[in-house]
Amino acid sequence: MLVWLASYPRSGNTFSRTILNRKFGLNSYSLYDEQSELLESAIGFAGGYKDKVDSPAFLEMARASEKIYLIKTHGPPLADDPAIYIVRDGRAAVASYAHYLSKVEGYPVDIPQVIAGDVGFGSWSGHFYTWDPVNRPNTVLTTYETMLEDVDLWASQVEGLLGASANQADIPAFDELKERFPFFYRVGGNEPGIAEIQPYLDEFDRLHGDLMKELGYY
């Protein structure tokens, strides 16, 4: 079974993969080139990683398999496969994505550009509405904030979709993961990002305020 692990960039996708590996014993894959050795260590598994899995043959193999193939994506839905969608407070997600593009990817971008969606994966609310996780069949809507506050609750929210029960394995605290793997785990909270957004809040609210209210962030 193929299960998409979908999110707007910088919304906790890597931390979710850590939880899914420790709590369900599931390896995960990605549509993107990533630092595989670092990522394998951060997520807590060795082997089973593939830098590029977007070939039709791989995806069809995953769909036909009894094994669960978790595949990370930040793009739009490619098909109607089951999905776990992770959403994060848009203010923090936008600020973190701007930081990542500028500091890690070396792509000069500022916060207003990310707010407007003038970046590779579009805007925060546009991404959410494209996936429409509230109405999309076989899709579980989860939050970054739940991952940080209650790992066991987050794991329980995806059990039905995965057809498996989470085990009692401990998950390293976000601060520990951040110390060990700062490339993947940067902040571990929303407050710094929310503060960075303040000078641009009027424009953010104009474009994304309705979804922020819909999701309970306002």
- Separation of alpha carbons 211 and 218, rounded Å: 9
pLDDT, tens digit, for every residue of 130-178?
999 999 999 999 999 999 899 999 999 999 999 999 999 887 776 777 6
Residue of 93 and 184 predicted with greater confidence: 93
- Stretch 114-129: mean pLDDT, rounded? 97
Share of the chain above pLDDT 90, in %: 64
- Separation of alpha carbons 208 and 149, rounded Å: 24
CB neighbour class for 122 (10 Å; exposed up to 12, middle 13-18, buried from 19): middle
How are strands ordered across the β-sheet holding 28-30?
28-30, 69-73, 2-7, 83-87, 139-143
Q: By three-state DSSP, how is residue 139 classified?
A: strand
**In the beta sheet, which residues pair with residue 141?**
85
Is the per-residue pLDDT at 49 higher than 50?
Answer: no
Tell me which residue of 159, 141, 148, 153 sits closest to 83, measured CA to CA. Answer: 141
In the chain the first and final C-alpha atoms are separated, in Å, by: 36
Residue of 181 and 48 predicted with greater confidence: 181
pLDDT, tens digit, for every residue of 56-80?
888 899 999 999 999 989 999 989 9
